[in-house]
Amino acid sequence: MRRTILIALVIAATVVTALVAAPLFKTPAAPTTFSEAASMMTRTAVSVSLLFVWIIVAIVVTLMSGREVRYSSIEVRTSPLHCFALGLVAVTSFVLTAILFSYLIPYLVGLPLLIALAVFAVLTKVYGTIAVFHAIGTIVAGTRSRDVLLRRRWLRGDLAMVIIGVLLLGAIRLIPMVGTIAWGIASVFGVGSALATKFGRREPWFLVLRTAT
């Protein structure tokens, strides 16, 4: 019952998000003029340059907190539906909270709140997306047996899994339309996994009040 409600909630939220976001997408068309082809080349150059930045950030974050990234990655693989639902709701909450804070800008308090929200949202997205890179890398190139793991020279360890994930998702991102959607879905999963595991620390977000007996 609970699972059915969760699936229905995810589908409904996805449809609403897609309907709201639809006007932002443009119909993909093959370049017909030289300037369109040049523009497409520039867009690809920008995407690949950003992918290089993603690789650097992913390496630094994985070296700094590999265990946390691994825990979040495990969460994506064991509870994907929960991560996706949480990610969608969290992104919606970020947007609504940003709109609310933007109304408070004339009262001075709005701007610092908006900056704090933006920093938190960016950190959540970056960390979560790296966890998704790890999850994709592990699904594609991870080992199931100890023998295979010991035989491998390069394709093992958190760092390798993250790099495999970045390269795969980065390659998919270059596909027009599909790439944008795939990257967006990965970001939603990432935000969900980052929040579900409290950035890999696996601590509760809220304290439970227990009365003394």
Partner 1 sequence: MNDACQRYAEDPEKNAAHLRECETCRSLYAGVETRPVNVGTLPLAAWEGARYRSWPLVLGGALAVLAIALALCAAAGISPIAALAVGFRSDSARAWIALIDQKLRPLGPLVFATLFIIVNTILVLLLRRAPRGIDA
Site for partner 1, rule CB under 8 A: 9, 20-21, 23-24, 38, 41-42, 44-53, 55-56, 59, 63, 66-67, 70-71, 74-75, 78-79, 82, 85-86, 89-90, 92-93, 95-100, 102, 121, 143-147, 149, 153-160, 163, 166-167, 170, 195-197, 202, 204-206
| C-alpha–C-alpha distance, residues 210 and 213, integer Å | 9
* CB nearer to partner 1: pick between 109 and 174: 174
* CB nearer to partner 1: pick between 4 and 147: 147
Q: Could you tell me the smallest distance in angstroms from the CB atom of residue 29 to partner 1?
A: 19
* CB nearer to partner 1: pick between 48 and 116: 48
* CB nearer to partner 1: pick between 109 and 149: 149
Q: Could you tell me the smallest distance in angstroms from the CB atom of residue 211 to partner 1?
A: 19
Q: Could you tell me the smallest distance in angstroms from the CB atom of residue 212 to partner 1?
A: 22
* CB nearer to partner 1: pick between 186 and 196: 196
**Rg of the Cα atoms in the chain:** 20
Q: Could you tell me the smallest distance in angstroms from the CB atom of residue 90 to partner 1?
A: 6
Q: Could you tell me the smallest distance in angstroms from the CB atom of residue 162 to partner 1?
A: 9
